[in-house]
Amino acid sequence: MHKKLRINNIFLLYTIAFLLLSSVILLVANFKEVSLVYDADALVQHFPAQFFMNDYIYDAIRSFGKNAASFNFNLGLGQDILTTYHYYGLTDPLNLIMVFSKNIEPQILYTIRIFLRIYLSGIAFIIMCIHFKKNKEIIVAGALIYTFSNYTLTPGVMHLYFTNSMIILPILILSVDRLIRKNKPFLFIFTMVIAVFMNIYFAYMLSLTAFVYAIVSILLLSRENGFRKSVKIFVSGISSYLLSILIAGVVFVPVIYSLFTNSIRTIGKIEPSYLMSKTEIINYFYNMFVLPNMTNFAVVGISMVTMFSIVDLWINRGNYKLKILMILSILLILSPKIHKVMGAFSYDNFRWYFIIILLLSYIFVDRYDSLKNLEKNKKVLMIIITFILLGGYTLKTYNIISNQIQGGNIYKSYILGISIPIFVGIIYMIILLAGSKKRLIYMLLIASLLMSNFVYIWSGINNGALVDKKELEKMYKIKYESVEKNKNDGFSRFDNQMNGGYNLSDIYNYKSGSVYYSIENKNLSEFNLEYMNSAAAPVTKLHSFDSRARLNSILSTKYYYGDKVPFGYEKKGKIYEDSNYIPFGFTYDKYIEEEYLKYMNPLDKEDILMNACIINSYTPDKIGFLSKNRKEKYDLSNIEKLDNSYFKKNYLKKSDVHFKPGFIKDGNKVDLSDSYINNHQGYNLVLDFNTRFDGELYMRLKSQDTFINNDVIYVDNGKNKSTIKFTKESSNWYSGEKEKLCNLGYIKKGKHTVIINIPQKGSFSINDIKLECIDLDNLENNKEKLSKNHLKEVNIGKDKFNGKIDLDKDKILFISIPYSKGWIAKDNGKETEIIRANTGFMAIKLKAGKHNVDFEYKRPWQNYGNYASIAGIIILLVYFILRKGFERENYGWNKNTSKK
């Protein structure tokens, strides 16, 4: 009873300290009227996703799964729900709090979700330390060091689900130890299942970490256990791991399938080096003990007191496991090649350094008793080593501050962030020399973490890292009256160009062409790549279709909100509306095979889309490295087939626009005589030109590197402004982008000026810049022809939609939802073949007459995942029953091992 009470006191003390330290962050944020939504991915991804998941989880649980849909018709023309939102916490058990949070203010809910995870990371650390029988006097201190490191406060605020790994890893290490020493695999299996449900990407990192820890543990026990028993332990561990993956199959299988089949990025374009540079190594270890920094993702940012524990570990004999793990961790830090392996062979992103924080925090707890009882000679050695380390740290800090003063840019928060740890280190050394009193250690730790949290939040706010509360409210409290009235208007889509509006359909529940999550349907990405959609930069970050009138037309975009208003839209209240838009499910009476268009430019292809359906004869059939294109044979008899000759007769009316280049100097334009320009920072390139007819004005750039050293340019045509972003081969998000095609807006014939602002110093060639004007006189006629026959009485249900259509001849029904093997189409109740059309969308052939058309979505490989989970649960139950029938000795474990 007394022991239980002491353990409960540990959790109580931690909770009180956590609330005190967290209150600093919350009070300052509230005083400055900022949210805890980070002004980057959190704003455009995590926060909108919360709205979707809140409704989805609430409805799914309350309906016992009946309302749990598989497909989201609103997002990105239509996306799978599990594979899109899993990465953001759809299957994370911690998000079950959303069942009770339906009426909680969104910003408050988001803050609760952040701090719940941070709090639980400390609880997990305490449980691990109790398991390893560490000194209870210091466990809470270790938990606070672990909890308020940079990983939870920066990556964990940028991407709140990153903190899940800080919760899982301590329990995973504990469970591996139980499996190895006591042959108790159930906690390990359960923990790995939860890890997969939380996030498969981080489950991969956690798996590697657990594997390395298990190997080290087994090897260190191999002399005692012998070869056979060590092998038996290893096999048991691998079997338990595979069983956990099997049980988690309901999530694991379809998500992994989607990862392999929907990836379009050219991963690892730049191969990382085997070793960091000398400067990188020095900076990394220097930043290990700085205060957490909201604007620096990769710094470890752990308390300086852990440095003394590390020194103590190495000046004493024994504790080989921690020493080996620390050596392996240093190798991980030093090698970008290993970074890439830890990051699932993606780009080097430092998302793995929660491992380093757990190790250092645990070393602090583990070495506490040793530090308290240092022998005199060890104490002298400790002073010498820590004095050298602190001296070097101080010297580098002095040099940094001196350089800032000389440069005239003094960053007070940065100076505090690197200076406070020095004072903490000095005071801690004095406490150790005075006898390492527990109360003084806690007082120092609490005081230093209070200062750390204050500097962290204050500097983060001053650097603009967090979104203002009132600005954030605008994001989810705007009323789009016309869209609200027509929300049930089938698939009438809304192009919302509000800043950061990629995923606003998750908030407002309208049909949208925009999407920006980590995984999207690959066919949509390929469409954007083929048509050089400048509003998709990178190609998986889609903010609709660059106001290109013809693309908007075939994708049934009825509403628009923004400055670059597409041709054909008229203002209706706050938004613009195309009253003559092409309804969803329109029909073609002509088609052309994609082979004829292989070398055609995107603007000519756009014109074809308004006249004929492009049939993609080759359907990708890909799972990871097993990749091939399967040629399809579609029955399109009785439908007119076109070839190149048709478009030679009916060519697109367009014109290369000749411009006179210049630049702005002292407020005046100066003509350019040279074609190759070395530009200064903030250079304004001026293009004067004259167009012969009204039309869409396009700028075509030879490559993504046309403007050297610039990832973005700003274009002003006098009527509207465009921000043009480039995805270069060196980018982690590169997907094969070549030329750049940008719609500058609809203009009238006559004289015009375009000003291109080039923000960074670099160079470019005038010859790499082309302007084209596209005549849209035939657009309205083409829209009327395509709209003549379309689906009517369209009903949208859970994972399905249906409609009616009456045709006077055979036609192709085009469905502007990205192609997926999960779709099944039925014509008058009979299943019919789905054609991959218009580069990544769907179509079916319909004969003359009346049709009831039904489409239903069933997630690819979901059934395999369901079967895997059922099989895994059965195997686990059988194993549990059989295990109960045998004594532990039958499996080769003995009581001596369990006590080690």
- pLDDT score of 312: 92
pLDDT over 90 (residue 704): yes
**Under 8 Å between Cβ of 491 and 794:** yes
Averaged pLDDT score across all residues of the chain: 89
Question: For the segment 463-473, what is each residue's pLDDT rounded down to a tens digit?
Answer: 899 999 999 99
Least confident of 136-150, 202-216, 883-897: 883-897
**DSSP count for the chain of H helices, then E strands:** 32, 34
The CA distance from 9 to 86, in Å, is 37
User: Which of the pair, 600 or 168, is modelled with greater confidence?
Assistant: 168
- pLDDT score of 101: 84
Helix (H, G, I), strand (E, B) or coil at 637: coil
What does each C-alpha distance from 561 to 564, 707, 721, 743 come to in angstroms?
9, 30, 14, 16
Quickly tell me which residue has 């000026």 as its tokens.
753
**Under 8 Å between Cβ of 378 and 238:** no
The CA distance from 744 to 546, in Å, is 9
- Please classify residue 598 by burial: count the beta carbons closer than 10 Å to its beta carbon, then call 0-12 exposed, 13-18 middle and 19+ buried: exposed
The CA distance from 193 to 90, in Å, is 15
624: left (phi over 0), alpha (psi -120 to 50) or beta: left
Question: For the segment 311-365, what is each residue's pLDDT rounded down to a tens digit?
Answer: 999 999 889 999 999 999 999 999 999 988 998 877 767 899 999 999 999 999 9
The CA distance from 256 to 143, in Å, is 34
Amino acid identity for residue 39 in this structure = D
Question: For the segment 472-493, what is each residue's pLDDT rounded down to a tens digit?
Answer: 998 898 877 666 666 667 789 9
- pLDDT score of 649: 63
How many CB atoms within 10 Å of residue 331? Answer: 11
For residue 93, say if its preceding peptide bond is cis, omega within 30 degrees of 0. Answer: no
Mean pLDDT for 386-393 is: 84
Beta pairing, strands 849-857 & 613-615: unpaired
The CA distance from 640 to 669, in Å, is 54
How many CB atoms within 10 Å of residue 839? Answer: 20
Q: How confident is the model at residue 407 (pLDDT cuts 50, 70, 90)?
A: low
The CA distance from 854 to 830, in Å, is 9
**Under 8 Å between Cβ of 12 and 438:** no
Q: How confident is the model at residue 897 (pLDDT cuts 50, 70, 90)?
A: very low
The CA distance from 301 to 35, in Å, is 23
Percent of residues, the chain, with pLDDT higher than 70:
92
Helix (H, G, I), strand (E, B) or coil at 846: strand
Degrees, nearest 5: CA angle 34-40-42: 75
The CA distance from 387 to 422, in Å, is 11
**Under 8 Å between Cβ of 568 and 549:** yes
Q: How confident is the model at residue 437 (pLDDT cuts 50, 70, 90)?
A: confident
Of 619, 606, 614, 607, nearest to 590 by C-alpha is 614
pLDDT over 60 (residue 687): yes
**Under 8 Å between Cβ of 240 and 188:** yes
- pLDDT score of 268: 45
What is residue 289's DSSP assignment?
A: G
**Under 8 Å between Cβ of 706 and 713:** no
Beta pairing, strands 71-72 & 79-80: antiparallel
Question: For the segment 736-750, what is each residue's pLDDT rounded down to a tens digit?
Answer: 888 999 999 999 999
Question: For the segment 593-623, what is each residue's pLDDT rounded down to a tens digit?
Answer: 988 888 888 998 999 999 999 998 766 554 4
3-state secondary structure 380-443: HHHHHHHHHHHHHHHHHHHHHHHHHHHHCCCCHHHHHHHHHHHHHHHHHHHHHHCCCCHHHHHH
pLDDT over 70 (residue 625): no
- pLDDT score of 363: 97
- Please classify residue 241 by burial: count the beta carbons closer than 10 Å to its beta carbon, then call 0-12 exposed, 13-18 middle and 19+ buried: buried
- pLDDT score of 893: 46
The CA distance from 247 to 894, in Å, is 29
Amino acid identity for residue 230 in this structure = S
Q: How confident is the model at residue 3 (pLDDT cuts 50, 70, 90)?
A: low
Question: For the segment 298-307, what is each residue's pLDDT rounded down to a tens digit?
Answer: 889 999 999 9
Question: For the segment 74-97, what is each residue's pLDDT rounded down to a tens digit?
Answer: 999 999 999 999 999 999 999 999
Question: For the segment 249-291, what is each residue's pLDDT rounded down to a tens digit?
Answer: 999 999 999 988 886 655 545 678 889 998 889 888 888 898 9
Beta bridge partners of 80: 71
For 674, phi then psi, to 5°, come to: -95, 150
pLDDT over 70 (residue 431): yes
Residues in the chain: 900
Q: Which residues, including other chains, have CB under 8 Å from residue 483's CB and lie 6 or more apart?
A: 494, 508, 510, 559, 575
Helix (H, G, I), strand (E, B) or coil at 490: coil
Question: For the segment 858-894, what is each residue's pLDDT rounded down to a tens digit?
Answer: 999 999 999 999 999 999 999 888 887 775 555 444 4
**Under 8 Å between Cβ of 30 and 107:** no
Cα radius of gyration (the chain): 31
Mean pLDDT for 182-197 is: 96
Q: How confident is the model at residue 899 (pLDDT cuts 50, 70, 90)?
A: very low
